Structures are given as structure tokens and as C-alpha cells.
Amino acid sequence: MNRRTRIIADYAYITAGSAITAFSTVAFLNPARLAPGGVSGIATILFHTLGWDLGTTIAVLTVPIFLLGVRLFGRQYGAKTLAGSILLSVFTWIWTAAIGTDGIISSTSDVSTWLSALFGGVSAGIGMGIAMKSGSNTGGTDIIAQILARYTPMTLGTSLFAVDGVIIAASAFFFGLENALYAIVVAYLTTAAINKIVLSMGTNYAKTVFIISSQYESIGSFIMESMERGATLLDAQGFYTKEPRPMLMTVVPNQYISRLSRAVQERDPDAFMIVQDTYHVIGEGYSEIGKLSDTGDVTQH
């Protein structure tokens, strides 16, 4: 796949993912007053309490958060993340105009609320997962979680839980405890669906990657210069040929895996690449040695 085709494919993923994510909010979650976190959850609360338009609220919240991410993290937040943020708002407007604010399921019984939670959670996860396949996301409170993980002792996973937890707690205040419990179910289903769609990303903090390739110099340079991550060159030997086979090892955050995979494929279609879940990352660029919590979590540096 050449660069132009890959870029077109990436933006197709972002567009489709944003459309599906917006549909889940308009068709299922907002009508049932379910706010499982994220800017869509905040928008749902503001829609039902203040009457604010869903799409406008998402745009007003998302763009400043994106700009803050750019300021703090630099080029990590590029055009694709901005596109995802804007498209989520655009598709929310489109779906609202198409099906209205009452959704497609009547929220008049416990069964309809369960159906809204089930289909809303799964469809939201599918949409987010598709967007993540491009190496991007739909922006929003994930960036706030990353900021908390960087400047507080919390891990990224804990930060995500904390941010969404605050939104769900707020929904309990405005919509009642029962709806907040439904929102927790939605959050779980969303995460499960994302994991199914984006197997390479999972829910862990980072991935350890081993790469065996004759183009290790070019791949190593890409990791160091373009991804701004470290890499280690290991001595290896082919068991059958007994010939030396240099092997690269690197540890990268989950959202970098798609980008790294494409770069390796472009440089060497015959490369051998192993990706492993990594739970504890200690050292420069991640967590300082000794910053393990009582539960064994490692905080992001």
C-alpha cells in the first residue's frame, strides 16, 4: 500500500468510525439518558439539563481539549485526531437531523433502556475501534486522561477510569443511580468492543515490539526520529542458517502500534514482527524506577 492509498484508507477509517460513534450517541445513549463518559457523555448531560445541542456541545468541548493536547504533547496530536474530533460533531448533527433526539428505541421501560445500553455500548466501541485502526481517535476526554497520567502519579488506565468516573457520577446526580449503573455497563461494552476491533491495541498501557528485518537500520531510524522512541539492537542468529539476524526491540504506547506496523511493512514486507502486551514500563520516557504503586501499577512519566 503506497502512502497516498494509506492516507485515504486512514481517513476512511476515521470517517466511518466517527459516523458510527455519533450514531450510537444519537440513536441509543442520549435518548436513554446514558452518559458513560467522554465528551458525548458530557454533551448528553448538558442536553437534558440545559437543552444544549449535542453536536455543538461536542465541538465546543473537543476542539479546545485537542489544542491543549497539541500544546502539551506536540505533534503526537496531528491532523487525523483533529479530523476525528470535528467529524464526531458533524455526524452528530447529521444523525440528529435524520432521526431526531428521541432515538430509534422508545425509552419507556427497563427493557428499552437495557437495549439502548447494549446496542449503544457495542456500536460506540465499534466506531471508536474503527477510528483507532487509523492510528488516531475521536479526541475528547482521552486527551485529558493522558494529561493526568503525565502530570500526576496515576497510570493512563487509572486516569481514563477517573475521568469517565466523574462523568458517570455526574450522570447519577442528574439522571439517577439506576441510569448511572446502566452507563457503567455501556462503558464496559464499549471497551470490550474496542478490544475486538483493534486487537493490536488492547487495554494495556504499552506494547513491546520485536522486529527481525534486513532493513533494521531504516526501521530503527524511523522509531528514533519519527516516533521519538528508543530502540535496542539485539544480536540474534537464525537457527537453521546460523547466520546473524539483528533484531530490534522497542516499547511503544498502544496508539503507536498501527503507525509502526505500517512503517515496517513499507520498508520490508518480509519483516518478522512480534507484538506483546506490556503492563509495567519503567525507565526513561515512561515511569521512573521506584514509582510502583501498592497495586503494582506503573505511573507514566
Run of H or E residues at 30: none
Q: Which of 73-82, 154-163, 255-264, 274-283 has the highest mean pLDDT?
A: 255-264
Picking from 169, 193, 190, the residue whose alpha carbon sits closest to that of residue 181 is 169
Q: In what order do the strands lie in the sheet with 206-212?
A: 232-234, 247-253, 206-212, 272-278
The architecture of the domain spanning 206-278 is 2-Layer Sandwich (3.30)
The answer to whether 252 touches 260, Cβ cutoff 8 Å, is yes
Query: What are the φ/ψ torsions at residue 52 (nearest 5 degrees)?
Result: -70, 140
**What does DSSP assign to residue 210?**
E
**What does DSSP assign to residue 2?**
-
Q: How confident is the model at residue 257 (pLDDT cuts 50, 70, 90)?
A: confident
Which is higher by pLDDT, 220 or 298?
Answer: 220
pLDDT tens per residue across span 272-297: 998 887 755 665 555 444 444 333 33
Rounded to an integer, the average pLDDT of 135-145 is 71
Alpha carbon 185 to chain centroid, angstroms: 18
Backbone Cα Rg of the chain? 21
CA–CA distance, 226 with 260 (Å, rounded to integer)? 10
Mention every residue, 6+ apart, whose C-beta is less than 8 A from residue 1.
9, 262, 265
Residue 156 has, within 13 A of its CA and on its CB side, a CA count of 17
The answer to whether 172 touches 245, Cβ cutoff 8 Å, is no
The whole-model pTM stands at 0.66
Q: Which of 66-75, 168-177, 216-225 has the highest mean pLDDT?
A: 168-177
The answer to whether 71 touches 64, Cβ cutoff 8 Å, is no
Domain ranges of the chain: 3-197, 206-278
- 64 three-state secondary structure: helix
**What does DSSP assign to residue 27?**
I
Rounded to an integer, the average pLDDT of 145-154 is 74
Predicted pLDDT at 231: 87
